[in-house]
Structure 1
Amino acid sequence: MATRLGLSLPQMGHYSIGTDVPAVARAAERIGYDSLWVFERALFPEPATQGLYGIEGLPWPDTYRNVADPLVTLTLAAAATERAELGSSVLVAPLHLPFRLAKALASLDAASGGRVIAGFGTGWSWDEYAASGVRPFEERGAVLDEIIAVCRAVWGPDPVVHDGPLTRIASAAVGPKPVRPVPVLLAAGSERALRRLVDHADGWLPVGFSAPRVAAEWRRLRELAEERGRTEPIRTVLRVNATQQAKPYDGPDRRPFQGSVDQIVADLVEFDGIGMDEILIDLQSCARDARELTDVAAEVWEEARAAGV
Structure 2
Amino acid sequence: MAIPLGLGLPQMRQYDIGTDVPEVARAAERTGYSSLWVFERALFPEPATQGLYGIEGMPWPDEYRSVAEPLVTLTLAAAATERAELGSSVLVAPLHGPFQLAKALASLDAASGGRVVAGFGTGWSLDEYAAAAPRPFAERGRALDELIEVCRAVWGPDPVSYDGHLTRIAPAVVGPKPARPIPVLLAAGSARARRRLVDRADGWLPVAAGVEAVTEQWRQLRNLAAERGRTRPLRASLRLNARYLPTTYDGPGRRPGQGSVDQIVEDLAAYAAIGLDEIHLDLQAGLRDAEELKDVAAEVYEKARAAGV
| TM-score category, normalised to shorter length | over 0.9
Moved segments of 4+, more than 6 Å: none
Q: Which moved more, 1:262-271 or 1:290-299?
A: 262-271
Please tell me whether residue 180 in structure 1 is matched to residue 177 in structure 2. no
> Take 2:195 and 2:167, find their aligned partners in 1: how far apart are those partners?
23
Show the counterpart of 1:275.
275
Q: Give, in angstroms, the shift of residue 18 of structure 1.
A: 0.2
Please tell me whether residue 190 in structure 1 is matched to residue 201 in structure 2. no
State the one-letter code of the partner of 1:199.
D
Show the counterpart of 2:59.
59
Please tell me whether residue 248 in structure 1 is matched to residue 241 in structure 2. no
Show the counterpart of 1:292.
292
Matches within 5 A, 1:134-145: 134-145=134-145
Show the counterpart of 1:18.
18
Show the counterpart of 2:221.
221
Show the counterpart of 2:112.
112
On the 8 A contact 1:12/1:284 being kept in 2, the answer is yes
Q: Secondary structure at 2:298's aligned position in 1?
A: helix
Q: Which moved more, 1:208-217 or 1:98-107?
A: 208-217
Name structure 1 gaps, 5 residues minimum: none
Q: Give, in angstroms, the shift of residue 209 of structure 1.
A: 1.3
> Take 2:191 and 2:253, find their aligned partners in 1: how far apart are those partners?
30
Show the counterpart of 2:32.
32
> Take 1:263 and 1:249, find their aligned partners in 2: how far apart are those partners?
8
> Take 2:139 and 2:14, find their aligned partners in 1: how far apart are those partners?
34
> Take 2:286 and 2:30, find their aligned partners in 1: how far apart are those partners?
22
State the one-letter code of the partner of 1:280.
H
State the one-letter code of the partner of 1:273.
A
Aligned length: 309
Q: Secondary structure at 1:118's aligned position in 2?
A: strand
Q: Give, in angstroms, the shift of residue 254 of structure 1.
A: 1.1
Q: Secondary structure at 2:47's aligned position in 1?
A: coil
On the 8 A contact 1:6/1:279 being kept in 2, the answer is yes
Identity rate, percent: 75
Show the counterpart of 2:42.
42
TM normalised by structure 2 equals 0.99
> Take 2:10 and 2:252, find their aligned partners in 1: how far apart are those partners?
30
> Take 1:72 and 1:166, find their aligned partners in 2: how far apart are those partners?
25
State the one-letter code of the partner of 1:63.
E
On the 8 A contact 1:197/1:204 being kept in 2, the answer is yes
Q: Give, in angstroms, the shift of residue 70 of structure 1.
A: 0.1
> Take 2:160 and 2:190, find their aligned partners in 1: how far apart are those partners?
32
Show the counterpart of 2:7.
7
Q: Give, in angstroms, the shift of residue 144 of structure 1.
A: 0.1
Please tell me whether residue 260 in structure 1 is matched to residue 260 in structure 2. yes
Show the counterpart of 1:158.
158
State the one-letter code of the partner of 1:106.
A
Q: Give, in angstroms, the shift of residue 286 of structure 1.
A: 2.0
State the one-letter code of the partner of 1:29.
E
Q: Which moved more, 1:237-246 or 1:250-259?
A: 250-259
Please tell me whether residue 230 in structure 1 is matched to residue 193 in structure 2. no
Q: Give, in angstroms, the shift of residue 273 of structure 1.
A: 1.0
Show the counterpart of 1:239.
239
Q: Deviations over 1:34-77 (max 9, x none)?
A: 00000000000001111111111111111100000000000000
Show the counterpart of 1:131.
131
Show the counterpart of 1:205.
205
> Take 2:69 and 2:132, find their aligned partners in 1: how far apart are those partners?
13
> Take 1:199 and 1:210, find their aligned partners in 2: how far apart are those partners?
26
On the 8 A contact 1:31/1:298 being kept in 2, the answer is yes
Q: Deviations over 1:215-265 (max 9, x none)?
A: 100000000000000000000100000000101110122111111000111
Show the counterpart of 2:146.
146
On the 8 A contact 1:189/1:217 being kept in 2, the answer is no
Q: Secondary structure at 1:45's aligned position in 2?
A: coil
TM normalised by structure 1 equals 0.99
> Take 1:286 and 1:308, find their aligned partners in 2: how far apart are those partners?
27
Q: Give, in angstroms, the shift of residue 270 of structure 1.
A: 0.9
Q: Deviations over 1:100-157 (max 9, x none)?
A: 0000000000000000000000000000000001111010000000000000000000
> Take 1:253 and 1:175, find their aligned partners in 2: how far apart are those partners?
50
> Take 1:192 and 1:307, find their aligned partners in 2: how far apart are those partners?
38
